[in-house]
A = this chain, B = another copy of it.
Amino acid sequence: MTAPTGRAVAIVAGSGVLPRHVARSAENSGHTVFLALIAGSARADDYADFAHRTFGLGQFSGLVSALKARDITDVAFIGGVIRPGLLDIKPDFGLVKHWSTLKQAFRKGDDGLLGSIIGILEGSGFRVISALDLAPDLAVNKPGAVGKMSANVDARADIDLGLRVIEALSPFDVGQCVVISDGRPVAIEGAEGTDGMLHRIADMRRTGRLRGGSGGGVLVKSPKRGQDMRIDIPTIGPDTLRNAAAAGLQGVAIASGCVLLAEREQTIALADQLGLFIEATP
């Protein structure tokens, strides 16, 4: 599903640099972009050059009115949000009627929660699209190496194993990123996030708990089977490469067409500089 160009679209933005890049890419392909910033996650200062407004976590009616006033029907979510406690959300009158739905969704993990929010938005006449639909040029859309380095035979075997682990975890709201070293899964991403997981690998190398092995290891990142790309797009960026290098890895494998590269050009240049491969899997 691609948003037709020249259309007014909204990006609900959490933390990080990714919402900016998606917004810029969407503008470049002719969209008129409105940024709905999530209070406490996205900072208004970072979006001074875009049409934007900040909304509290429970300000649903406010968001709906702002979108309708701008004739916007297409909405994409992007950026990080620290999972709030239910009590942190102050529902306005538009959200109150959906409160019991949201409360139930809270027990279902992040995916369940965002899925429920999407359901509520779509029930109110909006179409929720993936940020990838707005900025397909931020993904690597062709399988193969994107920088100077590429994966050797052993690294390819490790990548395959990593994809199988992610596939096995598909039914669960966890683990779209793993580290394989010497034919063995040594880390699976949980709530700590990719960078936290890479720091852990670096720590284990330092303390000798994990040996370098013959290759060093690879980071494998891919959406799960059936993953709703409107809810959660795997991403990598310069920090991922820096942390992968500090963890002694050989490279990073990402699913082609399904993983966003924040600061794409810098990320690829940095991989070359660090001697790491970035390999898009078929």
Contact = CB atoms under 8 A, between A and B. Distances in A.
Q: How many copies of the shown chain assemble into the complex?
A: 2
Interface residues of A, number: 37
A67 interface: no
**Consensus secondary structure, chain A interface:** loop
A89 to B, nearest CB: 12
Contacts of A209: 82, 191-193
A77 to B, nearest CB: 19
A172 B190 contact: no
Interface string A176-188: 0001001111111
Nearest to A86: B214
Query: Nearest 6 A-B pairs (CB), nearest first?
Result: A109-B184, A174-B185, A187-B190, A186-B191, A188-B188, A107-B183
Given A165-B172, A174-B184, A174-B185, 20 more contacts: A82-B208, A83-B210, A107-B182, A108-B183, A109-B183, A110-B184, A164-B171, A165-B169, A165-B174, A168-B168, A168-B171, A172-B185, A173-B185, A174-B188, A175-B185, A175-B188, A184-B191, A186-B190, A188-B188, A191-B209
